Structure 1
Amino acid sequence: MYVTTLIAKPGGLQPALVEALRNAWGGQSAQWLAADEAAEFAMERMPDNADDVWADVQGQGVDLIVQPLDGRRKKMLLADMDSTMIQQECIDELADEAGVGARVADITARAMNGELDFEAAIDERVGLLAGLPVQVIADVLANRITHMPGGRALVQTMKAHGGYAALVSGGFTAFTSAVAEALGFDENRANTLAVEGAALTGQVVRPILGQQAKLEALNEITARLGITPADVLAVGDGMNDLLMLQNAGTGVALHGKPALQEKCRVRVNHGDLTALLYLQGYAKTEFVT
């Protein structure tokens, strides 16, 4: 059996669309997970035209996920941080404070779309932060960083059902530790900014956590927990998340860069992080906030 899930912003999912698609694909009765926001129906086989329909409903502000029904509710969340669990790129915010925001933001965008080597890109960007007072990190956290809508509900709902949550970022521990604590993650991994005195040196402590390290985190944490990568829901937005998303049971490109979306089967462009609960079959009334 397969299950089709349709998700939109609140008020954006029309019952007529759900019924039309259910009829076309021979689905069972539709179940509404949230009124006018998320619905699902089961069916016996994967539709041949799922990709074409996905493109059509994207134009209507609707995300469409078709997946096997069995095993879709996962035991672990593995999440990227920048532009995924938070709405910003931390290094871009630090760079803005240092007066090199535009230059760093351009490098970040190209790196996240897979146009630049991640390690070289992070070295170049951090190098431009040399001499920045460490206190700026706390200021950025307090005044510039906002959580992605639905993040706390995602983490807390999965944990309430026995899940484990890990935050794994190519960003920096100074930020992941704060975000992980605020949202309720069980652990976090990221890069460390080198500091001398009260200022950043412009260097990143080795080894650098990039795409391969995120895959290693997936394998290491699941082995430690006695589960498999198939039990994991992973989410990210950039090409440095690709291996993690491809090897998890469900890998979600959330508002993903174009290069990442081309390689991911599950894409969420209109919903927020609660979409990751809906695609597991959680109703809004089950969310833990």
Structure 2
Amino acid sequence: MALGGNPIFNGKNFRGATQAPPVPQAPYGAPYGQASYGQQPYGQQPYGQQPYGQQPYAQQGWGTQPQSMTDEQLRQMYSQPSAGPADTGRMTFDDVIMKTAACLAAVIAGAAVTLVVAPGLASMLMIVGALGGFVLALVNTFKKQPSPALILAYAALEGLFLGGLTRILDGMFPGVGLQAVVGTLSVFAVTLLLFKSGKVRATPKAMRFFMIAIIGYAVFSLVNMVMMWTGVLQQPFGMRSIEIFGIPLGVFIGLLAIGLAAFSLIMDFTSIEEGVRNGAPQRFSWTAAFGLTVTLVWLYVEIIRLLAILRGDD
């Protein structure tokens, strides 16, 4: 997600490129080459050191080839390729891909647990995963330095939640789990292709609309959850089950949420691209992987819920 847009990336020093220290300037009015007070003038050395251009006794002069290196060794040394981002400890796209794959593997492992255990235990693990994942999401979001252990733990807990949710909805509407997986991968692939083609970008205007829409969606979801927990609404999906012109409100809300999640992926890709271009430290590839995992989990939940609402309306 773009810097300044998603709180996951706020406060993270993605601009990790360092600059050379400034050149010391002579005091105003001093002759060129004269240093500031307490420093030796240019061209003069402190007592006991050799002046510029003169070599101490028994030392080699400028341009003299070291006796320990042959001409062939020198040629090999200067013919070596320059150090790349990975060699200098900077974030690369490969780093982000590998760490995102590790997070998704943790999600799949957590989901596999709740899919194979007894139904009662699966429901308990689903609640543990939902609450624990929410807590670790907040911790990782506001933590200044990324923690690989906490990020992988978050992914595993979200896997427990997704596995339990999939087991419940797939039991009610067989096939929605596989359809949700295919839908999530399809949205991710299409969004990535649109981003790479340059046709979709996280512009400031689009980000303002996104923030307004996401706040409105969060308020709706919170009110809907409270009304379901207090028993005000008895429908399986709360206000989402209310029909407007014969179409459940959840269909419109679900399509909006999927669109917001897709744009959130665009913001993720933008932040990753900026981080690589600005030479962010390699450790922040974990932050990028965490942001992608959060968005993919959100996207999957919205898709499987939309499919369940559509199937329940049949």
TM-score by length of 2: 0.23
Bigger proportion of residues as helix:
2
Larger Rg: 2
Bigger proportion of residues as strand:
1
